Amino acid sequence: MRRSKLARRQLRNHARYRGRNDLNIVPMLDVMVILAFFLIFTAVFSKTSILEVNLPGPGAQAAPAVPSLELEVIVRRAGLEVADRNQGVLETVPATATGQDVVRLSEYLEGLKARYPTKSHATLLVAADVDYDTIVQVMDAVRMRQSVDGGRVVRRELFPQIALGDAPT
């Protein structure tokens, strides 16, 4: 049986491209061999360090931890609460008719700063219904105290590092 010219051309064309859709994995194997060598080579030369730890014996007791001040200022619409996370509420400053009494808060925080001079962190916990202006005023009062001494303004740094959070309900 004789084939047409078109059929012979198709057969010849298909024969030319036969075997070209096979997957060639030789380059992938080359890369894997190089990676294996690299990983083994670097694993041998990695540094190991030994840390010597002296643990107490079974009868030893731990030294009592000295509680430090974990200052929290809770801002609510009804007023301010100065609290220590370890001890609870230290001082309550009720709100006045014009807003929060930030002057009284600043005075109390100045006394706390005198007792804990190295402490510089404070957490400001804000209720959901407190407006932005009040938050800024309280943050300024926690950060710095301004007073007039002999006709000049004296600024004292209180707790400059302030973290914000949500007040407990």
**Burial track 93-102 (b if 16+ CB lie within 10 A, e otherwise):** beeeeeebbb
92 with 130, same domain?
yes
Band (11; pLDDT cuts 50, 70, 90): confident
Pair 112, 105: CB distance under 8 Å:
no
Task: Give the domain extent around 28.
Answer: 5-44
CATH number at residue 87: 3.30.420
Q: Is residue 65 part of a domain?
A: no
Pair 75, 93: CB distance under 8 Å:
no
Q: Is residue 153 part of a domain?
A: yes
> What pLDDT sits at residue 45?
64
**Rounded mean pLDDT, 30-37:** 92
pLDDT tens for each residue of 66-86: 678 899 999 999 999 999 988
Tally of domains within the chain: 2
143 with 76, same domain?
yes
